[in-house]
Chain A
Amino acid sequence: MTYIAKPRVFHPSLEKNELGLTRRDYEGVMSTLCAGCGHDSVTAALIEAAWELAIPTHRAAKMSGIGCSSKTTAYFMSESHGFNSVHGRMPSVASGANAANRDLVYIGVSGDGDSLSIGLGQLCHAVRRNLNLLYIIENNGVYGLTKGQFSASADMGSKSKRGVPNEQPPIDPALLGLSIGATFVARGFSGDKDQLVPIIKAGIRHPGLALVDVISPCVTFNDHVGSTKSYAYTREHFREAVEAAFVAPKDFVPPADEITADIGSAEVRDVRMHDGSVIRFRQVEGDYDATDRDAVYGYLRERQNAGEVPTGLLYVDPESRDLHDVLGTVDRPLWDLPFEELCPGSEALDALMENYR
């Protein structure tokens, strides 16, 4: 770990966002992860995305469980709320927080150990409920904190640092999410922020659970030859299915203009979300349709069987309705309700009970 504090000195031409904040205002404490950890790049991508979206730092809540990945939340937006919870239980705590205060931006950071083993049930039900949460899985295929045992996302045949191959099939978070009704599924790579930052921005603004699987190499235990989650392997097998950009409502540019303005010939398709924001897809694979769940599922199976790592904002449901919307809960956060409304007293309770007699 690093003992040098990151100096509070900036590039004089550092840009400010519409809140007057620089990227440096979205930083957290110095990372204690291994030097070169992919998770630190995910942190940098989160900082960039939050800065670009101009999220007021006190209006966000960072949720995590246990593991190397779950330390990430300490390393960005130090002025935000945060809850570093129990192993695998981040979705439960996030559900409670979100139920009580629906106004905050919820950023959950978990890992393949936290979410695909001990917390797999939690993950699945958070996805089903479509909790309004950015759910990042920093996926490195190993338990780094306990010295590199295979995790549930390790690929068949991927070799441990000792050279022993994994012989159990992996749980793929993207395929899992698609099969249980996720409304936003993406996969990125910590080594490619150009792709990851727009995905995170779209995920933060997505009304529902945005499941983002990020291949984030463990530089200490899983970055060797034979590993399928190393920097080199991921770069060699990286395949971009579709390119996405989040367009805030006020920035919306009709696609026709952009096509003429752009030199590339790739087709652009806008998917308009509930809240008026737009996700702009630029086709990389000819007829890829990021709103067709079954086709996306088939595509992922096909490419993964061919040994590739398909990436991008793979699937989005424009009709997504989050948990509050489905349950018809009160519009305001609970702290904002007068006590009498929040707790109407025993007479109101009696009247309610009377309904069920």
Chain B
Amino acid sequence: MEPTNVGNPDYYHKVVDCQWACPAHTNVPGYIRLIAQERYDDAYMLNWESNVFPGILGRTCDRPCEPACRRVRVEEKPVAICRLKRVAADLRGDVTPRFPDIPKQKNGKKIACVGAGPASLTVARDLMPLGYEVTIFEKNDRPGGLMWTNIPQFRLPPEVLWEEIDYILDMGVDIRYNAPVESMKWLLEQDFDAVFVGSGAPRGKELRLPGRYDTDHIYIGIDWLESVAFGHVNSIEENVLVIGVGNTAMDCCRTSKRIGGTNVKVMARKSKPYFKASPWELEDAEEELVDIVENHSPTEFVVEDGVLRGMNFDIVEWHENDEGRLVSTKLDETFFPAEAVILAIGQETAFPWIEDDAGIEFNKWREAVVDRTTFMSTREGVFFGGDAAWGPENIIWAAEHGHQAAISIHAYCRGEDLRKRPPEHMNLVSAKMGLHEWSYSNDYEYAHRRKMRHVRLEERLQSIETEVEEGFDIEQTLTEVERCLNCDIQTHFTGSLCIECDACIDICPLSCLTITHNGAEAELRTRLTAPAENEEQDIYVSEALPQTSRVMVKDEDLCIHCGLCAERCPTAAWDMRTFDLLKPYAGQDAEHPYSGMGIEEMSPGGFVSVTP
């Protein structure tokens, strides 16, 4: 193998599994260490920099970081990353003085955003400090998009939502409520230099079965949740069937339980391993005594004299056919009584307000054709992001889309090449503080993931406004921050210093290290101290070592970043170095790498800035 190029920020970034998995590349171990130091403001700002909505996401994120967490590879459960994000948000003080200054002298460029959801808000946050004038058109009388209309208050209290949205609106965003954009052509005729479409995926999917339109007790999940949010709906019948088993279905069934539904069933076509809902949302629903019924495929709404009686289902079983596709076999039929049915089987984008001749191309599913890199549609100056771009995703994706679209809009307004993305940089600073002192806590101790405490069942089902999760207490927080393995403290190797004494290999508790003769990757992976079988994880290969021309090989898979290799290295060939990804945002270019949101240097000492 060629020697590994650790100068490419991607190499060390990938070692930080959580950060790599996060669409917005939030510096997870960094903020967890700040929480451990009780620097909650700093921890909050480190989040805010990349994911914009720490308090909201600390309650609602889909957590792509957690399944990726390295802890899963040595223990059963990941660090409760999402919960710790909420700790940072709960315990922060007034962070407003630390927000970027908004120039009084504007740069003369005007940007229109459609919809006041997380994607548009992120675009506004990234562009306002650069002197842009941003106008957001919102069809409702308040901002937030799906964060407000579709996430029930018992999961996300409104005050948390409004506070973080206000941080952005208070930058001087011109937000126009009750102002649905009804014509793209009209919008394009206005005096805007660029348009960002962040209007989400507002159309719930239909279930066209017999009886669908014979009653008014069948609701579309996202529309129904919106009506509940606005207070238009405040009750439901006792027997409720929710069709679909994604996260929206979970919100629908749990909301039903609070406004009159006593017998609420979630009806799933497939079996549990194929459920789309996040495991923790399923658990929370089951805790609230919602029945989740698997392998029931709906066939008919049973309506008698305009009154909904229930639904017929086929009981099915699933198996993979020769092509590896899942197919069902009908076993039996059954009837479930219900007075109300909520359809939560997916949602899609809808652009009735974009005219065919507006210059924006659509594909055969009526989705806008959007460039994956630049986020620009086929019409110059019109950008898409969030669910509006490629269909339903999560808030964290919307934030990242917003960042990327903002970079593009900035480049577009300056007449620059949109495809030339500002490069990522990194800082790599030694974590060595003294002969045997490191700037992080590297003791590994086995510890179970702490469980979030919930408000008592009887109490929480009384009101839709009672937040279920109570947040972490101090013991839970301290345990969880210590569970983090500090994957961003990288094992950094300098081959020219190595005397091949084997000290690192002998001490490594996870058998990650080997000195051996170089070879092709597949073959090399088989003859390490412990075979490197997880091919999703890289192996590091050094240059040829001075004494024997062999190479140092490290399997990144199971390293727990304890630092013993560096501790036992007589020549400092191994060093532990804090990796800090410098992710570019709008307005930062190669010459001006990002300087951070006023967070003091996390590691002392000089730093090495490495460019790819």
Report which A residues bind B (CB closer than 8 A): 1-14, 24, 34-38, 40-41, 43-44, 190-191, 193, 217, 219-220, 223, 231-232, 235
Known: A10-B510, A231-B547. A4 touches B501 (CB 8 A): no
Whether a CB of chain A sits under 8 angstroms from the CB of B563 is yes
**Beta-carbon contacts of B553-586 to A below 8 Å, as 1s and 0s?**
0000010101110011111000000000000000
3 smallest CB-CB distances across A and B, nearest first, come from A36-B570, A7-B444, A44-B506
The complex places the Cα of A9 from the Cα of B445 at a distance, in Å, of: 9
Q: 11 A-B Cβ contacts within 8 A? A: A1-B436, A4-B443, A7-B444, A8-B509, A10-B510, A11-B530, A35-B503, A41-B502, A190-B501, A219-B499, A232-B499
Q: Smallest Cβ distance from A231 to chain B, in angstroms?
A: 5
Which residue on chain B has the smallest CB distance to residue A41?
B502
Known: A219-B570, A231-B501. A13 touches B530 (CB 8 A): yes
A36 touches B564 (CB 8 A): no
The complex places the Cα of A341 from the Cα of B154 at a distance, in Å, of: 82
The complex places the Cα of A217 from the Cα of B499 at a distance, in Å, of: 11
A36 touches B568 (CB 8 A): yes
Which of chain B's residues 508-561 have a Cβ closer than 8 Å to chain A? 509-511, 530-531, 533, 547-548, 558, 560
Which residues of chain B come closer than 8 Å to A232, judged between CB atoms?
499, 547
How many residues of B sit at the interface, in one of the four size bands?
20 to 34
A40 touches B503 (CB 8 A): yes
A4 touches B563 (CB 8 A): yes
The complex places the Cα of A112 from the Cα of B330 at a distance, in Å, of: 81
Which residues of chain A come closer than 8 Å to B571, judged between CB atoms?
36
The complex places the Cα of A193 from the Cα of B74 at a distance, in Å, of: 28
Which residues of chain A come closer than 8 Å to B445, judged between CB atoms?
7
Q: Smallest Cβ distance from B503 to chain A, in angstroms?
A: 5
A231 touches B499 (CB 8 A): yes
Which residues of chain A come closer than 8 Å to B569, judged between CB atoms?
35-36
Which residues of chain A come closer than 8 Å to B446, judged between CB atoms?
8-9
Which residues of chain A come closer than 8 Å to B560, judged between CB atoms?
7, 9
Whether a CB of chain A sits under 8 angstroms from the CB of B102 is no
**Quick one: which of A3, A11, A231 contacts B558, CB cutoff 8 A?**
A11
Q: Smallest Cβ distance from A33 to chain B, in angstroms?
A: 10
Known: A4-B562, A235-B547. A10 touches B503 (CB 8 A): no
The complex places the Cα of A341 from the Cα of B612 at a distance, in Å, of: 80
Report which B residues bind A (CB closer than 8 A): 73-74, 436, 442-446, 499-503, 505-507, 509-511, 530-531, 533, 547-548, 558, 560, 562-564, 567-571
**Quick one: which of A6, A12, A34, A35 contacts B509, CB cutoff 8 A?**
A6
A2 touches B506 (CB 8 A): no
Which residue on chain A has the smallest CB distance to residue B566?
A35
The complex places the Cα of A7 from the Cα of B503 at a distance, in Å, of: 16
Which residues of chain B come closer than 8 Å to A1, judged between CB atoms?
436
Interface residues of chain B: helix, strand, loop or mixed (majority): loop
The complex places the Cα of A231 from the Cα of B499 at a distance, in Å, of: 7
Known: A4-B563, A11-B511, A219-B570. A37 touches B499 (CB 8 A): no
A35 touches B570 (CB 8 A): yes
For the complex with contacts A4-B564, A34-B570, A38-B501, 8 further pairs of A-B residues with Cβ separation under 8 Å are: A2-B436, A6-B509, A6-B564, A12-B558, A37-B503, A41-B503, A44-B505, A235-B547
Which residues of chain A come closer than 8 Å to B507, judged between CB atoms?
6, 40
Which residues of chain A come closer than 8 Å to B563, judged between CB atoms?
4
Which residue on chain A has the smallest CB distance to residue B533?
A13
The complex places the Cα of A223 from the Cα of B547 at a distance, in Å, of: 13
B506 touches A235 (CB 8 A): no
Which residues of chain B come closer than 8 Å to A11, judged between CB atoms?
510-511, 530, 558
**Quick one: which of A2, A37, A43, A191 contacts B564, CB cutoff 8 A?**
A2
Which residues of chain A come closer than 8 Å to B502, judged between CB atoms?
41, 44, 190-191, 193
Which residue on chain A has the smallest CB distance to residue B531?
A13
**Quick one: which of A5, A14, A231 contacts B500, CB cutoff 8 A?**
A231
Q: Smallest Cβ distance from B547 to chain A, in angstroms?
A: 5
A40 touches B506 (CB 8 A): yes
The complex places the Cα of A264 from the Cα of B499 at a distance, in Å, of: 30
B444 touches A14 (CB 8 A): no
Which residue on chain A has the smallest CB distance to residue B557?
A11
A10 touches B509 (CB 8 A): yes
Q: Smallest Cβ distance from A281 to chain B, in angstroms?
A: 24
Which residues of chain B come closer than 8 Å to A231, judged between CB atoms?
499-501, 547
Q: Smallest Cβ distance from A234 to chain B, in angstroms?
A: 10
A35 touches B568 (CB 8 A): yes
A9 touches B567 (CB 8 A): no
The complex places the Cα of A275 from the Cα of B564 at a distance, in Å, of: 42
Which residue on chain B has the smallest CB distance to residue A44?
B506
Most buried by B among A2, A12, A13, A35: A35
Which residues of chain A come closer than 8 Å to B73, judged between CB atoms?
12
B506 touches A43 (CB 8 A): yes
Which residues of chain A come closer than 8 Å to B547, judged between CB atoms?
231-232, 235
**Quick one: which of A4, A24, A40, A217 contacts B567, CB cutoff 8 A?**
A4
The complex places the Cα of A13 from the Cα of B563 at a distance, in Å, of: 22
B436 touches A223 (CB 8 A): no
Q: Smallest Cβ distance from A214 to chain B, in angstroms?
A: 13
**Quick one: which of A5, A6, A12, A191 contacts B501, CB cutoff 8 A?**
A191
